[in-house]
Structure 1
Amino acid sequence: MIKKVLDYIMFSRNPVKYARRKGVKVGEGCRLLTNNFGTEPYLITLGNHVSVSGGTSFITHEGAQWVLKGLDKDKYENTFGYGKITICDNCYIGERVTILRGVTIGENTIVGAGAVVTKNCEANSVYAGVPAKRICSLEEWARKFLLSMPEVDITRYKENKKEEIERMYCIDSEVKNK
């Protein structure tokens, strides 16, 4: 119990340092909002400028060989299923994504919230779903994203983020206070 509390405190203070201390290879300029690096964190590599959202899980081992061991203990007794997980430079991993062993996520890639990544993801792409599938290119997504952006007064945004977001999305101050 004390170890869990200390882990939480360490993670809260400096998530990147925490991950490195656990054995994760972390590049420069990363943002980590998860502390679930599985049982073999030393098999995980994060490139530069990688953002990993909360609730994301890295699964670097295969536990399902348990069933095979139940079928034929002698044949499968000494079997193991481990695999590296690599996230290349400039990637965003959404909320509650699960990444399985042996996966490489190419550079400039977005993985949408809740996805289960079972296979490699090509660079410059957007993936989502269970299992994760390629949705579109990063270029296509960027175009759609910019079209959906409301007009922003960046000065007002920097001064009062909440007010500017409410203005951008037409949230009436009378309604929100009820």
Structure 2
Amino acid sequence: MSKVRRLAAVCGLSLIVSLLLAGVAVAADQRAVLFLETRPSAKPEQGYVLAARLVATDGRPVNEATVRFYDLVEFFGAREMLIGSATTDGQGIATLTYLPAQLGPRAIVAKFAGRAGVAATEGRASLAATVAAQPYTVEPAPLSAFSSKVPYAVGAIVLAVWALIGFALIGTARGVMTGARKEGKGQTA
């Protein structure tokens, strides 16, 4: 194992030395700023538009970057619930529509995880939700009217089978008793 580590260290060191000798400078990641804006959607049933603008500190937009949007929720403590993600366009803008589950104030967070040459960053905004998704309702099963009566039908069938078994046992017992009486009378006569 030590030979493998030594080889990796030598290879890593030789790569750095060759880059320095070739005059290649490894630049540090450039800082970026993420501006987050919330606004009502053009269609009220779609909720809100979350727009994030990602720019480098020199003012140039960062394109083709994935921005993840989160809603801060109280669920066993403060947590970030992922709303969705979007990719920035040529102007560094990523948009996402969001229909909250509940009315009231919301805290929205947009995060950029970083990539080669651009450091990670995040932006925050508040949203006063006046439009929310309809409450979740469970649709009835396709055969629910039929399936609600099945236990009673099965119970009636089981009861009928047990009744037949009972009548068969009683009939057999009566037949045995009657046969025994006839045999008993035949021997004494």
Q: TM-score, normalised by structure 2?
A: 0.18
Which structure has more relative contact order (CA 8 Å, sep 6+)? It is 2
Give the greater-gyration-radius structure (CA): 2
Q: TM-score, normalised by structure 1?
A: 0.19
Structure (1 or 2) with the greater strand fraction: 2
